[in-house]
Amino acid sequence: MLSVKDLHVSYGNIVALRGVSLELAKGEIVAVIGPNGAGKSTLLLTIAGVVRAKHGEVRLGESSILGIAPEVLASHGIALVPEGRHIFGSLTVAENIALGATTRRDRQAIAADVERALDMFPILRERYRQRAGKLSGGEQQMLAIARALLARPKLLLLDEPSLGLAPLVVRQVYEAIFELKRQGITILVVEQSVHRAVAAADRTYVVNSGQVAISGRSADLHGTAAFDAAYFGAASGAGER
């Protein structure tokens, strides 16, 4: 479904990605993990069209999507929930969710999707008419995901969905993510928190210093020394966890 080949991205003189490649098959959950500054967010931002790549290839299905504007990619079925949630604080929960359906015109289906999203995150139904800025961190994260779902995305990109959230809330978020997988959405999750992501994902890529250090099926990688070394970098000795 998604194929990234040899992606190079720089911010001015700072190189963020030096030749990253990865693949996602339809219906998979793939985790991309790595330490701070590894380039994980850049990867998602580039796929979503916000950041320009220097060179490389990104394909959705058969077509190349590099260099296409984010709003156009949105109508192609790509939804990004960026790091820090980025909900519209001055708009109501209802308006935030409705904006998720910006690219759609099918009113009745949209209404049905809103209901489903509120079923998935009941707290949002409670707060439906409130200003989104008043929600807690966890609630905002759920709102961000609900909003993304309204687009009926084919590919969902999640940047650090567990950031700053209490463990209980993180569990709820990941339950929602599993539910989405069951609905057939392909998901790419970027996380710093290793356990959740790797446990949830079919396959995992470890990215360090702008490159893919190691990748494989989560079950195979989890707990191996090679995995730890890849995450923390070869220089830092035997895997500390």
Partner 1 sequence: MIVIQNAIDAISLGAVYALAALGIGLIFSIMRLINFAHGELIMVGGFTLYALAGQPYLVMGLAAILVAAILALGLERVAFRPLRKASPATLLISSFAVSYLLQHVMLMIFGSRPMGVDFLPQLGDAVELGPLRVPELQLAAIVVTVISMTGLALFFRRSRIGVEMRAAAEDFTMARLLGVRANRVIAAAFVISGVLASMVSLYLVAQTGTVSYKMGVNMVLIAFVASVIGGMGSLVGAALGGFLVGIVSVSLQAYLPVDLRPYRDAFVFLAFIAFLLWRPQGLMTRRADMERV
Which residue ranges make up the site for partner 1 (CB under 8 A)?
48, 50, 69-71, 74-75, 79-80, 82, 86, 88-91, 95, 98-100, 102-103, 147, 151
What pairing do the DSSP bridges indicate for beta strands 55-60 and 29-33? unpaired
Closest CB to partner 1 among residues 52, 171: 52
Alpha-carbon distance of 79 to 49, in angstroms, equals: 11
Closest CB to partner 1 among residues 102, 183: 102
Distance in angstroms between the alpha carbons of the first and the last residue of the chain: 33
Alpha-carbon distance of 96 to 141, in angstroms, equals: 12
Closest CB to partner 1 among residues 70, 223: 70
Closest CB to partner 1 among residues 68, 214: 68
- Contact status, residue 149 vs residue 115, Cβ threshold 8 Å: no
Closest CB to partner 1 among residues 103, 172: 103
Least separation in angstroms between residue 3's CB and partner 1 is 21
Least separation in angstroms between residue 2's CB and partner 1 is 16
| Chain position carrying tokens 């950041």 | 51
DSSP per residue, 56-68: EEEEETTEE-TT-
Q: What letter represents residue 29's amino acid? A: I
SS3 3: strand
Least separation in angstroms between residue 71's CB and partner 1 is 5
Least separation in angstroms between residue 111's CB and partner 1 is 15
Closest-CA residue to 200 (of 236, 238, 171): 171
Least separation in angstroms between residue 130's CB and partner 1 is 15
